[in-house]
Structure 1
């Protein structure tokens, strides 16, 4: 990583003294507005990020880790955040958690704020979009950073990435449905063009090619409402489809509800599996078959990996994939209906 710019670099660029720049950073009333504007332009030009926590000597910032999540409304990510935070707390570290709402601009602002407040490290389940400037800023700040569950920066030597073997998960789900007797299988949900959609879909495509079946893919946002809408589309436009692999459990739960309202019993009349194995998958009736990613253990391992980096200097591998396994339930097996 390049050297982190300092207050001296800002002062040199602005043609001012270090003390003047320091007063600007402290919002001193002694500084004229035009001087403050000049300093802030120089800060941006040299890539300087003000560490407010360090400047104020806040001892509370020591051991503070920033966690940025793309969608905390999704139980999969919520469970990861909770297990990660609790594992860090057990080691004496505090976590500040923020939701970017799938907005890369908001994500950039959140990360800037966390750096300013002196986080020791960052863990990001990133939003998709233009993020080059965001990761360049992190590099300049020299804050150890992990990408988890989604990879948006290709610089994994600098920003190590860890996730699950989604390709194998899709393959397991497809093979399971074939063995359960499904004749025409669709892949439902997930936004087109996103790496995570391609990964979860690839195993399905591989299995369809293996058995010589024509794939059918219906894309959409990973939500219950979209799952319900796509179930309606399948029933209307593709009545021959008798099974589906859903991008995630939320899509599957939405499909199950809509199929049931139409008198199509999941597991008996239509077989389907989800992805992620959130808690509701085992509680809903009929039970939802799902590819389990053991997100709780993943959160704990991520915390341990980060602390090894911070405390022991053991930088993580550039990429790590955790295994997954299918949990079959009534939605694909028809048992107990």
Structure 2
């Protein structure tokens, strides 16, 4: 025999079924002693070596959950993934986590790899773009799958969606700035045309229309670097603006850095509100007001929802939006 002997070779040599050989390998008491001795002798005769580590890995995949996250460099998504992983771990499930880096093709490859490695379920915070390949293969595999934070596939009967009430977040932030005396309020950051951007802008637009003010939106990738660049553009081209809501806290932190370099005071001089309330928001100076999404609780609830589906067959509602609340700090009030 030129190839490595398999469990089927052992079964054939011993004249028993593959299942009987498997039970012997597991040390099951269901197999009679004489039959077990026969199987072990056949293993020796054909040169079969049991790879226990590989068998344990295959067995463990029953309790393996896949996570595909669009941007693990962003603390918002990192906190979500970490909380979700820890919640699943406390229930005895291992996780395999991957960063799609906002790349639809990479996301498709990651999903395929996780399916091939036998995950029991998936949680995906998807990238935008052509994502049909990702979700079509999940559909064929029949895996319980939650799409979270971004809705990119409308087959909610197969891929239930959960996120936050971003519209209300925009409303709360804009009303707060108006109450603080701001009148020329801008919205800064977010990639133009993406649903998540429009969701976060929608509440701002609603409130600006309510008070009869003209919205001003400066789009840009939601990063610190773009926040810094957009701050310079705002001061140069729109010097009358006295407040801003940012797509996320990273944009806000970039703006604050530029304002500091350019000698413009954030707080009483220019009121600023971010989105997401990442940990750094409370630690910078001045502390950053931000729309809190309580991503840690969201991660725990996502774990509970997925396990209820996987273990108890309680399928989630098609779409769920969690409440948000504005955390007011010095960046929007000037009060330290």
Give the TM-score range, shorter chain.
0.7 to 0.9
Instruction: Tell me how far apart the structure 1 counterparts of residues 230 and 57 of structure 2 sit (CA, whole Å).
Output: 54
Give 2:148's aligned residue: 148
Q: Deviations over 1:138-192 (max 9, x none)?
A: 0100111000000100111110000000000011000100000112000000001
Instruction: Tell me how far apart the structure 2 counterparts of residues 294 and 312 of structure 1 sit (CA, whole Å).
Output: 26
1:260 aligns with 2:263: no
Instruction: Tell me how far apart the structure 1 counterparts of residues 68 and 133 of structure 2 sit (CA, whole Å).
Output: 16
Give 1:280's aligned residue: 280
1:193 aligns with 2:183: no
Q: How does 1:1-337 map to 2 (within 5 A)?
A: 58-336=58-336
**CA offset at residue 133 of structure 1?**
2.1
**CA offset at residue 57 of structure 1?**
7.6
Q: TM-score, normalised by structure 1?
A: 0.83
Equivalent position SS for 2:291? strand
**CA offset at residue 56 of structure 1?**
9.5
Give 1:3's aligned residue: none
Instruction: Tell me how far apart the structure 2 counterparts of residues 288 and 244 of structure 1 sit (CA, whole Å).
Output: 12
**CA offset at residue 310 of structure 1?**
0.3
Change (3 A) 1:57 1:270: closer
Instruction: Tell me how far apart the structure 2 counterparts of residues 288 and 200 of structure 1 sit (CA, whole Å).
Output: 18
Equivalent position SS for 2:264? coil
Instruction: Tell me how far apart the structure 1 counterparts of residues 119 and 243 of structure 2 sit (CA, whole Å).
Output: 47
Equivalent position SS for 2:268? coil
Instruction: Tell me how far apart the structure 1 counterparts of residues 56 and 136 of structure 2 sit (CA, whole Å).
Output: 25
What do you get for the CA RMSD once the two structures are aligned?
1.4
Instruction: Tell me how far apart the structure 2 counterparts of residues 83 and 306 of structure 1 sit (CA, whole Å).
Output: 14
Equivalent position SS for 2:81? helix
Instruction: Tell me how far apart the structure 2 counterparts of residues 301 and 103 of structure 1 sit (CA, whole Å).
Output: 27
Stretches of structure 2 lacking an aligned partner (at least 5 in a row): 1-53
**CA offset at residue 85 of structure 1?**
0.3
Give 1:18's aligned residue: none
Moved over 3 A (4+): 54-57
**CA offset at residue 92 of structure 1?**
0.1
